[in-house]
Amino acid sequence: MKNIIISLILLFSTQLLSQKKELKLAQKAYNKGDLLSAESIINQNKDLFNSSEDKIKNQVLFLTAKINNDNKNYELAFESYMLLKLIPSMQSEINSNINSFRETLIDKAINESDNKEFLKSSRKLFMAYMIMPETSKDYLYYAASNAINGNDYSKALEYYLKLKEIKYDGIKTKFYVTDTKSNKESEVSEAEYNIFQKSKNYSNPRTENTKSLYPEIVKNIALIYAQQLDKPDKALEAVREARIDNPDDIGLILTAAEIYIKLDEKEKFIELVSQAIEKDPNNAVLYFNLGVVNRDLGYLVESRKFYEKAIEIDPKYEAAYFNLTSLILDGESDIVDEMNSLGTSRADNARYDLLKEKRESLYLECVPLLKKLVEINDNPEAIRTLMNIYGTIGDNQGYLEMKKLLE
């Protein structure tokens, strides 16, 4: 029995020595800059290292992180460093390397952002945040912004929700001093501020806090949810929350209105757009949209008023002219149907003549609107419509003028 115990001890001792030997060889290769050999030694001895004590496993993991960082395999380096952060005994040893790794990620992210590689930049900024979350919250915000720029709204939403969870506001203190000779105020660093405010060469030291970014974050969450048609409840909840901090933000009001229109709640849309008009009464687009929705609901008198208001604000608003013309001509089909249903009696003939005049009055009402469209942009559709109207009412000169414009 003693022989067996002694043999096992010898086996474990030999294995431990082998593990230490291979680790030292890998570390030596790394220190010489031979990353390929260092990586090869680790890969060839995976089973050996996996069976080692925690102390050796931790050192292998640390060396792997450094090799991957130097090889620019940042994702793999990130995974290793995140595991190392969970090991209390390794914290003092890895701190400087983690700081250096974070700075590398940030530098690479800035270059990628400059080159419009926004999603790559976003990922690295997120890793920079995760590797040192307490001191890197700004980079989570930048990661979200780059995800937006890269059109990855799902990832941006993930980051914005995290920012909201940690109640990030991004408030920074700015420092200012005034040069006593030039009387010019300049922004300086905090260190400079502490020195300059004691100097006779500078006066009026002051500080100023930047605006909180929290309202913007909540607003962006709302806007992203608003694009997700399958989550209208979350979108509306996010918009309501965003409006607490941004009560006068027309964009949020219109975002809510857009959600309601997608839900086919047109009355609620009208209510919200009307609120937006109170804050921006000279916005022709808002009146135009009210014209469209009121027409959909059958409120034709109101619709016409809104189109006319849009044109009053913007006399070159082509879509408003078109929609107003179409609204006026909506009444034509009923007139034509009744005209076609009449017989040949004296009463029917009298009614026919009356309806014909009514139809022509609709046409004449549209003429100045269509002529304005032609004036604005030589619009071919407006020209053809005018030509048809002139032909119907017997205005040969007008007909020929429009025909010539189409040639």
- Please report, as a single letter, which amino acid is at residue 297: L
As given in the structure block, the two tokens for residue 327 are 């609204």
Per-residue pLDDT at 12 exceeds 80: no
Compute φ and ψ for 175, nearest 5 degrees: -120, 135
Per-residue pLDDT at 11 exceeds 50: no
* pLDDT at residue 40, rounded to an integer: 94
* pLDDT at residue 9, rounded to an integer: 47
Residue 10: pLDDT band (50, 70, 90) is: very low
- Please report, as a single letter, which amino acid is at residue 216: E
* pTM score, whole prediction: 0.67
Pairing of strands 202-209, 173-179: antiparallel
Q: Give kind and range of the element (H or E) at residue 177.
A: strand 173-179
pLDDT digits 0-9 by tens, 227-281? 775 677 888 888 888 888 778 888 888 888 888 888 889 999 999 999 999 999 9
* pLDDT at residue 15, rounded to an integer: 63
Per-residue pLDDT at 1 exceeds 50: no
Question: How confident is the model over 148-170, as a mean pLDDT?
Answer: 95
Residue 357: pLDDT band (50, 70, 90) is: confident
- DSSP string covering 118-129: HHHHHHHHHHHH
Please classify residue 54 by burial: count the beta carbons closer than 10 Å to its beta carbon, then call 0-12 exposed, 13-18 middle and 19+ buried.
exposed
Q: Are 217 and 168 in contact (CB under 8 A)?
A: yes
Per-residue pLDDT at 76 exceeds 70: yes
- For the chain, give the longest Cα–Cα distance: 131
pLDDT, averaged across the chain? 90
Q: Are 235 and 228 in contact (CB under 8 A)?
A: yes
pLDDT digits 0-9 by tens, 276-317? 999 999 999 999 999 999 999 999 999 999 999 999 999 999
Cα angle 121, 127, 130 (rounded to 5 degrees) comes to 145
pLDDT digits 0-9 by tens, 83-137? 999 999 999 999 999 999 999 999 999 999 999 999 999 999 999 999 999 999 9
Please classify residue 393 by burial: count the beta carbons closer than 10 Å to its beta carbon, then call 0-12 exposed, 13-18 middle and 19+ buried.
middle
Quick one: what percent of the chain has pLDDT higher than 90?
61
Per-residue pLDDT at 21 exceeds 80: yes
As given in the structure block, the two tokens for residue 138 are 């700004």
pLDDT digits 0-9 by tens, 171-218? 999 999 999 999 999 999 999 999 998 898 999 999 999 988 888 888
Per-residue pLDDT at 379 exceeds 90: no
Residue 2: pLDDT band (50, 70, 90) is: very low
Those residues with Cβ within 8 angstroms of residue 403's Cβ, 6 or more apart along the chain or in another chain: 387
Q: Are 300 and 285 in contact (CB under 8 A)?
A: no
Alpha carbon distance 116, 118 (integer Å):
5
Please tell me whether residue 188 adopts helix, strand or coil conformation: strand
Strands (E) across 264-350 are located at: none
* pLDDT at residue 207, rounded to an integer: 95
CATH homologous superfamily of domain 214-281?
Tetratricopeptide repeat domain (1.25.40.10)
Distance of CA 107 to the CA centre of its chain: 23
Query: What are the residue ranges spanned by the domains of the chain?
Result: 15-86, 111-168, 173-209, 214-281
322-355 b/e with 16+ CB inside 10 Å = b? bbbbebbbeeeeebeeebeeeeeeeeeeebbeeb
Alpha carbon distance 253, 261 (integer Å):
12
Distance of CA 305 to the CA centre of its chain: 35
Q: How far is CA 52 from CA 8, 10, 28, 37, 48, in A?
A: 15, 15, 19, 21, 7
